Structures are given as structure tokens and as C-alpha cells.
């Protein structure tokens, strides 16, 4: 009886193979895709919303979409980076995936998350000008606590996917900064002042267009501080790519 049951089970599996679910929401889907049509549609809807043409922050539903639109922050003062884009909003399944990846040690999510970043880079023409990839560094203390730098894991995969050099340890974060969210702009800037130090010879970045990679774009103050450091050392354009944009 046992044998008949096992055979039957094997036959059912053969006739109706079960695919692993969507890696973002766990939903049912076909074999060839990394994420399900519902997650794909959700990200596509977000991409269609009006965004700031420089930092990629969503501009609110009342805003008419014009390619020249700027958010109030970029309008007040242009950021030191040239362009920032994110795969999706810092909400729902994406926020959950980032949380698992960053705080719960789920490093196996790196290939999927990096694949979504590669797709975005390939769709966004200016990002194709990138000549090398640079992950946003963690302070030594934070990296020791977490055991890994989530941005570096993603950058490794993205560099491989785009066949671009990865600038590892080019930049170090040598002082720990308090969480920047909720602080006034000037205070954030002051906290991050001189937090990043260029370790590699300046030739590694001189006149090169660089792609700076991080997990979440919140206020943009971290990537701005890094972009300032890199530009002061003679870097070319600085593009920023993140998984999520936490702007409202
Ligand atoms: Zn899904
Ligand atoms: Zn902006």
C-alpha cells in the first residue's frame, strides 16, 4: 500500500510539477520568472508614477508628470550626485524582503534583488554610462555586528550581471553615524561630514562615471556625502541605484 502511495505521489509530481513560489510574495507563478505577475505589476505601477528626475523620489499624485519635474529638495539645492533611481517603494513585499536580507541574515535573497537592480539599470539609459560599481560602505563596527555588508553583496551580483568592475574597499566609513531619519537637513549633513574616506588611489575613480549602490534611499544624505567625497577626488558622474525609495 505504502509503495502504491509513493508511486502515485511521484506520478502526481511528474504530471504537475510545483514551482517554487514568487521570491518576493511567495505567490504561485510560472517557472521562468523570478517574481510573480502581481509583484511585477506592482513595481511597474510604481515606476509609472511621477518621480523627481534627479533623485527619483515620488512626486505625489497631484503632480503632473513632466520629464523636467523636480522634487522640492532637489529644486532648493541640486544634490551632488547626478541621478538616483530605485527598483520600487520602501513598502509591502519589497520592504519585507529588504528587512529579511539586511537584518535577518537572508543572504540568499541577493541574486533576486540584484537581478531587479540590473533590469532597472538596463532600462534607464543614463545608468548605462556607468564604468564601475561602488557599494555604500558600512562602518567596521556595523559590519562586524551584521557579519556582512548588504550593499556589497548586491554590488557583487550587479557587477557580475553588468560585467562592470566592482570597486571594493575603495571607500571606507570610518565613523559611525546616528540614524539620519527625522533629523533636520543641516544636522544630517554635519553628522556625515568626513564620515567617508577614500582609501584607493585617486586614479581608480578619476574621471570615471561611478554607480553607487545602496539598499534604501531615504533622505539621500548618505549618498550625497559620498558623492561629494568622490567628486572632490575627481570622479566623473555619480549615479545612485537602490532597491527602494522611502520618499513619499
Ligand atoms: Zn509575488
Ligand atoms: Zn529630487
Q: Is residue 163 part of a domain?
A: yes
**Residue 13: pLDDT band with limits 50, 70, 90:** low
Please, which residues have CB within 8 angstroms of residue 108's CB and are 6 or more apart in sequence? none
* Distance (Å) from CA 216 to ligand 1 centroid: 20
- Domain limits for position 198: 35-56+84-178+191-248
> Is 2 a domain residue?
no
User: Residue 61 has what pLDDT?
Assistant: 62
**What pLDDT sits at residue 118?**
95
N- to C-terminal Cα separation, the chain:
60
- Residue 24 covered by a domain: no
- The three cell numbers of residue 218 are 531615504
CA of 85 relative to ligand 2 center, distance in Å = 10
CA-CA-CA-CA torsion for 217, 222, 226, 227, nearest 10 degrees?
50
84-122: pLDDT as tens digits: 999 999 999 999 999 999 999 999 999 999 999 999 999
Indicate whether 155 belongs to any domain: yes
Q: Quick check: is 239 in a domain? A: yes
Measured at the alpha carbon of residue 201, what is the angle toward residues 200 and 206, in degrees to the nearest 5? 105
Number of domains in the chain: 1
Span 242-247, average pLDDT: 94
Neighbours of ion ligand 1 (CB under 5 A): 22, 24-25, 27, 36, 39
What pLDDT is attached to residue 124?
Answer: 79
pLDDT for 113-156, tens place per residue?
999 999 999 987 677 789 999 999 998 888 899 999 999 999 99
CA dist 247 and 76 (Å) reads 16
Q: Determine, yes or no, domain membership for 14.
A: no
Asked if the structure places residue 28 within a domain, the reply is: no
Ligand that lies nearest to the alpha carbon of residue 96, given by its number in the listed order: 1
What's the whole-model pTM score?
Answer: 0.86
Give distance in angstroms: CA of 168 to centre of ligand 2: 28
| Spatial separation of the C-alpha atoms in residues 111 and 12, rounded to whole Å | 31
Going by C-alpha positions, the residue among 232, 229, 171, 219 that lies closest to residue 72 is 219
CA of 98 to the centre of ligand 1 (A): 14
Strand 238-245 and strand 210-217: the pairing is parallel
Residue 206: strand pairing partners: 235
Looking up residue 97, the CATH number of its domain turns out to be 3.40.50.2020
Per the CB < 8 A criterion, the answer to whether 93 and 24 are in contact is yes
221-232 and 185-192 helices, crossing angle to 10°: 50
Which pairs with CB-CB distance under 8 Å and at least 24 residues apart come from 37-44?
Answer: 39/93, 42/88, 42/92, 42/93, 43/87, 43/88, 43/94, 43/116
The answer to the question of residue 111 being in a domain is yes
Distances from the Cα of 99 to the Cα of 78, 96, 191, angstroms: 30, 5, 25
Amino acid at each position: 500500500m505504502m509503495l502504491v502511495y509513493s508511486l502515485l505521489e511521484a506520478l502526481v509530481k511528474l504530471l504537475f510539477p510545483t514551482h517554487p513560489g514568487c521570491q518576493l510574495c511567495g505567490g504561485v507563478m510560472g517557472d521562468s520568472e523570478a517574481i510573480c505577475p502581481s509583484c511585477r505589476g506592482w513595481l511597474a505601477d510604481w515606476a509609472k508614477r511621477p518621480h523627481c528626475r534627479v533623485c527619483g523620489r515620488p512626486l505625489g499624485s497631484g503632480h503632473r508628470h513632466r520629464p523636467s519635474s523636480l522634487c522640492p529638495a532637489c529644486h532648493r539645492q541640486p544634490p551632488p550626485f547626478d541621478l538616483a533611481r530605485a527598483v520600487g517603494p520602501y513598502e509591502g513585499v519589497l520592504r519585507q524582503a529588504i528587512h529579511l536580507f539586511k537584518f535577518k541574515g537572508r543572504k540568499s535573497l541577493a541574486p533576486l534583488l540584484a537581478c531587479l537592480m540590473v533590469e532597472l539599470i538596463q532600462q534607464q539609459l543614463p545608468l548605462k554610462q556607468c564604468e564601475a560599481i561602488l557599494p555604500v560602505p558600512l562602518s567596521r563596527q556595523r559590519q562586524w555586528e551584521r557579519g556582512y555588508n548588504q550593499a556589497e553583496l548586491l554590488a557583487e551580483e550587479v557587477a557580475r550581471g553588468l560585467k562592470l568592475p566592482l570597486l571594493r574597499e575603495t571607500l571606507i566609513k570610518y565613523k559611525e553615524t546616528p540614524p539620519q531619519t527625522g533629523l533636520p537637513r543641516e544636522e544630517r549633513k554635519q553628522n556625515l561630514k568626513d564620515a567617508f574616506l577614500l582609501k584607493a588611489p585617486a586614479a581608480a575613480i578619476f574621471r570615471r562615471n561611478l554607480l553607487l549602490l545602496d539598499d534604501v534611499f531615504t533622505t539621500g544624505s548618505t549618498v550625497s556625502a559620498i558623492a561629494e567625497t568622490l567628486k572632490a577626488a575627481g570622479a566623473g558622474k555619480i549615479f545612485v541605484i537602490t532597491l527602494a525609495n522611502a520618499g513619499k
